[in-house]
Amino acid sequence: MSSSTGGCLCGAIRYTLNADPVMVAACHCKDCQKQTGTAYSVVMGVPADAVSFDSGTPKTYQTTGTSGMPVDRKFCGDCGSPILTDVKVIEGLLFIKGGTLDDTSSVEVGAEIWCDSKAQWATLPESLPKMPGNPPAG
């Protein structure tokens, strides 16, 4: 098990992650594009109890997922950095934005999801598994 730290652009939000991600995906969904202002977000699924906030409290913007369940997008209220997403239909996992880690050298994208709304200027390795929407459950 590894421990890593991360935070937002201004430093008001700081977190510690005490587990390796169970999955890392490039998410091409329209909401991630809007929230990050770019082609996709790299999301790391981690056990919810492995994330602790050392400083600051992120704000929440709630949307409704395709499941009909809430999706809580947590971000820094001062600088706007997206930090993590709590997809309520997926219990026990939080999805950290990979770019908020202080050291991103260990982040390896394992799949591309929501390819149905992929930007044509987003290029990732051809070998990655590609899914039109959410990854299959289980």
Residues that bind Zn ion (CB under 5 A): 8, 10, 12, 27, 29, 32, 76, 78-79
* Residue whose CB is less far from Zn ion, 108 or 116: 116
* Residue whose CB is less far from Zn ion, 34 or 91: 34
Q: Which residues does 62 contact at the CB level (< 8 Å), separation at least 6?
A: 70, 71, 72, 73
Minimum separation from the CB atom of position 1 to Zn ion (A): 26
* Residue whose CB is less far from Zn ion, 29 or 46: 29
Asked if residue 25 lies in contact with residue 67, where contact means CB atoms within 8 angstroms, the answer is no
* Residue whose CB is less far from Zn ion, 1 or 111: 111
The DSSP letter of residue 31 is H
Tokens representing 47 are: 């056990």
Minimum separation from the CB atom of position 64 to Zn ion (A): 14
Tokens representing 104 are: 């991103």
Minimum separation from the CB atom of position 113 to Zn ion (A): 7
Residues for the chain: how many in total?
Answer: 138
